[in-house]
Each structure stands twice: as C-alpha cells, then as structure tokens.
C-alpha cells in the first residue's frame, strides 16, 4: 500500500516538536537558542509550535542546534545525466519546458472559407 505525503502543516508540527526536543535535550532555553541563532525568541516559539517561518531562520536554528549535518540529506545533489550533458553541449540546464497542452487536431483541414 502506497503511503501518501503529509500535508505541509503536519510537517511543520513534526519538525517543530523535534526541534523543541533537541533544544530541551541540550538543556537550552528558547532565549539562549534565539541569541545563538540570531533570531527572536518569538521565532523559536513559532518554529517549535509548528507555525510557518522563513527558511533562513529555520536554517539558523538548525545550525545553532548542531543539526546541520543532515541538511545535505534533506535536498541531495542530483547529478546531470550524460545524455542531458550531450544535448546541452556541456552547459547546465537553466529552464524547464513544462508540460505543454496539445491541441486537438481539427476534423477537417482549415480553409479561407472558399467553398470551391
């Protein structure tokens, strides 16, 4: 059975609880962590309660808690395929083409309205 992805708000709550546990296991107050991370105490409280915050603030807190070794695993580096390198002549890809909608083909060929 395939497991469905958690909605964002559930991930925020899970991550908030985990950050709180790490902080408490290190016997640090929210104020101490906020000072070391360079964020406000309110930001720490928001993170720990699962409320949205800026990515930079999240990273500052993760680094201050000593959890930054896991950041590489969060978004791993993706190698460029050899085929893509050949197609792009060694240049890095900069744009996605996206999914293009295909137009249905007309049932009869288009004309200028001439009936001859």
Tokens at 59, concatenated = 């990273």
Q: What CATH code is carried by the domain that includes residue 62? A: 1.10.260.40
28 is a domain residue? yes
pLDDT digits (tens, 9 = 90+) for 17-76: 999 999 999 999 999 999 999 999 999 999 999 999 999 999 999 999 999 998 888 888
pLDDT digits (tens, 9 = 90+) for 85-112: 777 776 776 777 777 656 666 677 767 7
pLDDT at 83 over 90: no
102 is a domain residue? no
Angle at 50 between CA 46 and CA 54, to 5 degrees: 60
101 is a domain residue? no
The rounded distance, in Å, linking the Cα atoms of 84 and 88 is 6
Q: What domain range is 64 assigned to?
A: 8-74
Closest CA to 31 of 51, 48, 12: 48
84 is a domain residue? no
105 is a domain residue? no
DSSP string, 62-114: HHHTT-GGGHHHHS---PPPHHHHHHTTTPPP-----PPPPPPPPSS---SS-
CB-based contact 34:40 (threshold 8 Å): yes
Overall domain count for the chain? 1
110 is a domain residue? no
């Amino acid at each position: 059975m395939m497991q469905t992805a958690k909605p964002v708000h559930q991930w925020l709550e899970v991550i908030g609880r985990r950050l709180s546990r790490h902080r408490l296991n290190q016997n640090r107050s929210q104020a101490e962590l906020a000072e070391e991370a360079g964020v406000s105490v309110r930001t720490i409280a928001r993170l720990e309660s699962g409320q949205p915050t800026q990515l930079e603030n999240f990273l500052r807190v993760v680094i201050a808690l000593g959890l930054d070794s896991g950041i590489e695993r969060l978004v791993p580096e993706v190698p460029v395929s050899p085929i893509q390198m050949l197609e792009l002549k060694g240049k890095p890809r900069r744009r996605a083409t996206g999914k293009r909608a295909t137009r249905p083909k007309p049932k009869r060929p288009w004309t200028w309205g001439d009936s001859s």
